[in-house]
Amino acid sequence: MKKIVTLFMAVVLGFGLVACGTTPAEPTQPEEESATLSGEVSLSGSTSVEKIGIALGDEFMALNPDVDFTYQAIGSSAGVKNANEGVTMIGTASRNIKDSEKELGMTEQVLCYDGIAVIVNNAVDVDELTLEDVQKIYKGEITNWSEVGGSDVDIVVVSREQGSGTRGAFEEIVGFEDELTVNALLADGNGNVHATVKSNAQAIGYISFTTINDEIKPLKIEGSEPTVENVLDGSFKVSRPFNIIYHDANLSDAAKKFLQWVQTDEAKDIIEDKGGIAIR
């Protein structure tokens, strides 16, 4: 009887310990903390992509404070070369990737689209041209504004430097590749074209939509104004892709995350805010 009572008390005591939660708990694994993204993301290439690229980089660094982002505006061809040689992780080109560049075996990704505006000095009394007009002006076949409805003054043609993605795209779309007039003034970058046209009362040039402002006059082409809406509906013909290109082996973890992030709605809002045409 004594043994039975002792056994009964032991069972009751054990039950009480369980009920009170005093039995040893199963060991739990601590939740794994998400790793903080760090490292470098380096881009180089088109001056047309620069404004959008830097804005995206600034936001990406704000979201990831341990990431260092850089963008070198050196022209599309140079950016592709840098990406191929690993000078920077990613290259940008404001034109289609050439067949010779495709042979390098890099991955291509369309960041967004952009229009190219034909611009004139605000003093030029012409508001609209046809694509054929533009072609003849840049080939040197039309040399006076009176030939296209303006005043009797010479046309000062402003174009981009060799290797410019904007120049390559513009010449291809308008149809005067390798036929640029020898009298053209060459300017490096959208900003310099803009400044040259702004300062010369007879000038015509072309720039990315991202650099249009009221200091110069963008012309209608074939009756269509240079707007995002008109690029999207196909009525404004002078448009091109903004491409990014890279070798996967050259990417840091941060660069891989950046390439994923630029496809998000958040990034596309930034692209549109800076004048690009996002892929929705």
- Of 127 and 211, the structure prediction assigns the larger pLDDT to 127
Q: Where are the beta strands (DSSP E) in the chain?
A: 38-45, 66-73, 90-93, 107-120, 128-129, 156-160, 185-187, 203-208, 217-218, 220-221, 239-246
Q: Please say whether the structural domain 116-239 has been given the CATH code 3.30.479.30.
A: no
User: Residue 206: pLDDT band by 50, 70, 90 thresholds?
Assistant: very high
pLDDT at 78: 96
Among 82, 68, 70, 71, residue whose Cα is nearest residue 47 = 71
Higher pLDDT, 31 or 135: 135
CA distances from 38 to 57, 90, 111, 125 (A): 14, 17, 23, 54
Residue-level pLDDT at 266: 97
| pLDDT band at residue 15 using 50, 70 and 90 as cut-offs | very low
What pLDDT does 210 receive?
Answer: 84
Q: What is the residue-averaged pLDDT of the chain?
A: 89
CATH class of the domain whose range is 39-114+240-273? alpha beta
CB-CB contact of 171 with 186 (8 Å): no
- Is the model more confident about 21 or about 230? 230
Q: How far is CA 66 from CA 100, 165, 255, 258, in A?
A: 37, 32, 13, 13
pLDDT in tens, 94-108: 999 999 999 999 999
Gap between the Cα atoms of 111 and 245, Å rounded: 10
* Residue listed under structure tokens 């941060």: 254
What's this model's pTM, rounded to 2 decimal places? 0.71
Tallying the residues shown for the chain, one arrives at 280
What stretch(es) of the chain map to CATH 3.40.190.10? 39-114+240-273, 116-239
Q: What is the pLDDT of residue 232?
A: 86
pLDDT in tens, 240-272: 999 999 999 999 999 999 999 999 999 999 999
In this prediction, residue 22 carries a pLDDT of: 41
Q: Is the per-residue pLDDT at 28 higher than 70?
A: no
pLDDT tens-place string over residues 72-84: 999 999 999 999 9
| Beta-carbon count within 10 A of 4 CB | 8
Q: What is the pLDDT of residue 25?
A: 45
The pLDDT of residue 11: 42
> Any idea which of 55-59, 153-157, 239-243 has the lowest mean pLDDT?
239-243
Contacts of 171 (CB under 8 A, 6+ apart): 138, 177, 178, 180
Encode pLDDT of 111-135 as tens digits: 999 899 999 999 999 999 999 999 9
27 pLDDT above the threshold of 50: no
Query: Does residue 185 register a pLDDT over 70?
Result: yes
